[in-house]
Structure 1
């Protein structure tokens, strides 16, 4: 089982693509709580060069509430990360966490339908791009 939902979207303007991803997340009920600029952080902390690379911490509050109501320790797996990164080829890859892979192995059957529903929403996001 893979742990991510991934799609290469060819060569595009990175900033515009980021806005498309955020809009697609919003259409599926997610907000972006955090944004980690890997390129900038690695340059600053390690003086290492990276191509453009962002991690968006996305949260769908309805599903987050349901999951946390079942098991508050699931907070360690939230938010759902969606990454946007430029590959060596110049193409851009979108990748989202697979909530089924992340949560279903924890042995709580009540979480599984929620993980499945969130996975479908994240698949929709990736497919829209």
Structure 2
């Protein structure tokens, strides 16, 4: 079972692609709460070289509120991560967590429809970016 929604978008400027992803997230009601620069972090912490690679912590406050109202411990699974990375061949990849998989082990049937709705939104984000 895939735990992510992924699309390869070809060779392009990394900064421009990141902005496209952020705009697509906004269009689906998400804000970006965090940004982790994997390339810079790995260089600083491990002196290891990575190609361009960021993780955006995206949050749709309406859905976050709904799931936190059902189970506040779900906070450990928030925000929804969306990554952008340059692959070895120079093409770019956009990937988002699949909330259906991430939330499947909770045993609470009221969470599933919310996870499905968030998956649809994240799938649109990934699909819109090119």
What SS does the aligned partner of 1:58 have? strand
Mapped pair 1:65 → 2:70: no
TM-score in terms of structure 1 length: 0.99
Match in the other structure for 1:6: 6
What SS does the aligned partner of 2:82 have? strand
Rounded Cα–Cα distance in structure 2 between residues aligned with 1:77 and 1:108: 15
Supply the RMSD in Å over aligned alpha carbons. 0.4
Match in the other structure for 1:107: 107
What SS does the aligned partner of 1:9 have? strand
Match in the other structure for 1:80: 80
Match in the other structure for 2:116: 116
Match in the other structure for 1:126: 126
Count of residue pairs the alignment pairs up: 129
TM-score in terms of structure 2 length: 0.98
Query: After superposition, where does 1:8-87 map in structure 2 within 5 Å?
Result: 8-87=8-87
Rounded Cα–Cα distance in structure 2 between residues aligned with 1:106 and 1:62: 20
Rounded Cα–Cα distance in structure 2 between residues aligned with 1:26 and 1:34: 14
Rounded Cα–Cα distance in structure 2 between residues aligned with 1:29 and 1:5: 18
What SS does the aligned partner of 2:103 have? helix
What SS does the aligned partner of 2:10 have? coil
For structure 2, list consecutive stretches of 5 or more residues without a partner in the other structure: none
Q: Once structures 1 and 2 are overlaid, which stretch shifts more, 99-108 or 5-14?
A: 99-108
How far 1:105 moved relative to its partner?
A: 2.0
How far 1:106 moved relative to its partner?
A: 1.6
